[in-house]
Amino acid sequence: MSNEKDWETFKQKFNGKSGINLNDYKPTQMQRRITNLMTRHGVSTYSGFFDLIDGNQQLYKDFVDYLTINVTEFFRTPEKFGELERQVLPDLLAKHSKLNIWSAGCSIGAEPYSLAIILSELTPSTRHRILATDLDVEILAKAKRGIYTSNEFKNIPQPREKKYFKQVETNYVISDDIKARVEFKRHNLLLDKFESGFDLILCRNVVIYFTEEAKDALYRRFFAALKPGGILFVGGTEAILNFRDIGFQSYLPFFYRKPF
């Protein structure tokens, strides 16, 4: 199989093509994922695999999807969304009547649309800002369309299903009102500048393959992007062990607050 020089050359070429720096990803897991794809396509070297995806737009797109793990659903981890609805958002709304929220690594849009649904019920007359970003432009296009399968839809209670979606054949289409509450934008978390002044940032199930150094740098940038009193919400396998060193306070499990 490929040697270290071949791997380094692949990373450089792929970074030049995609803007994704694989040095920020855990090498063992990333090499395993790529090697699986190489075997599937009958390629024995990283350079050969790069040539393959460089010459085939669909394969390249599939590979980026494979790397960025676009798996999501509405109200993913319902118990945590319950805490968000019952405690976190009301706490934030008690301090600011209009919230500035960022769903980082939003994938197909299920997370920011879930937020929009909750906020439309908590504060019907207020349009909060919900920024939703992702690296993958194809995934963002799907998010903007707002059309979902039953698998992505499984955690939505029936009253909300009836109120915010219509069924078209086997798919579910989100209402125009909820769609209009979310602003989608391409953004590379490891490369691009961050906005600031957020009340709430969600970054869930995004950093699973990042190195510890990349995660630490990312969480410090999120800390800087939050308002005093703002909250970062991370995934269920992504507890921030050094949150105190960064400056966060523990608010709830997997919710971290920037001190006032």
Domain boundary among 68, 93, 113: 68
DSSP letter, residue 94: T
29, 47, 68 - which closes a domain: 68
| Residue with the larger pLDDT of the pair 249 and 169 | 249
pTM: 0.83
More confident residue, 181 or 238: 181
Largest Cα–Cα distance in the chain? 60
Both structure tokens of 117? 């649904």
pLDDT digits (tens, 9 = 90+) for 160-194: 999 999 989 889 999 999 999 999 999 999 999 99
**Shared domain check, 217 and 126:** yes
Quick check: is 18 in a domain? yes
Q: Residue type for 95, please?
A: K
- What does the pLDDT read at residue 237? 82
Q: How far apart are CA 47 and CA 33, in angstroms?
A: 16
**Average pLDDT taken over every residue of the chain:** 91
Tell whether 86 and 33 lie within a shared domain: no
Same domain, 63 and 91: no
Judgement on whether residues 17 and 86 belong to the same structural domain of the protein: no
Strands 129-134 and 182-186, sheet pairing: parallel
Q: Token pair for residue 201?
A: 């940032």
Is the pLDDT at 141 greater than 60? The verdict is yes
* CATH number, domain with residue 166: 3.40.50.150
Residue 30, pLDDT above cutoff 90: no
Domain that residue 51 falls in:
4-68
Task: Let me know if residue 73 belongs to a domain.
Answer: no
Exposed e or buried b per residue across 155-172, where buried means at least 16 C-beta atoms within 10 angstroms of its C-beta: ebeeebeeebbeeeeeeb
Burial of 73 (0-12, 13-18, 19+ CB in 10 A): buried
Q: Are 103 and 184 contacting, i.e. CB atoms less than 8 angstroms apart?
A: no
pLDDT over threshold 80, residue 195: yes
Alpha-carbon torsion, ordered 216, 218, 219, 225, to 10 deg: 150
27 is a domain residue: yes
Cα–Cα distance between 132 and 109 in angstroms, integer?
Answer: 7
Are 29 and 144 part of one and the same domain? no
pLDDT recorded at residue 170: 85
Q: Where are the beta strands (DSSP E) in 138-259?
A: 147-148, 165-168, 171-174, 182-186, 198-203, 226-234, 249-252, 255-257
Across residues 222-226, what is the average pLDDT? 98
Q: Do 51 and 92 have their domain in common?
A: no
pLDDT value of residue 70:
60
Whether residue 228 sits in one domain with residue 146: yes
pLDDT tens, residue by residue, 198-219? 999 999 988 888 899 999 999 9
Q: Are 55 and 127 part of one and the same domain?
A: no
User: Final residue of a domain: which of 33, 68, 103?
Assistant: 68
**Is 205 within the bounds of a domain?**
yes
Tally of CB atoms within 10 A around 196: 12
**Chain centroid offset of residue 214 CA:** 15
Domain presence at residue 95: yes
32 and 95 in a single domain? The answer is no
235 and 125 inside one domain: yes
Q: What's residue 69's pLDDT?
A: 64
Tell me whether residue 105 is in a domain.
Answer: yes
Residue 204 domain flag: yes
Whether the per-residue pLDDT at 68 is higher than 80: the answer is no
Query: Within 13 Å and on the Cβ side, how many CA atoms surround 180?
Result: 6
Q: Is 47 among the domain residues? A: yes
Is the pLDDT at 1 greater than 60? The verdict is no
Same domain, 62 and 87: no
pLDDT band at 28 (very low <50, low <70, confident <90, very high): confident
Contact 75, 156 (CB under 8 A): yes
Number of domains in the chain: 2
90 in the same domain as 58: no
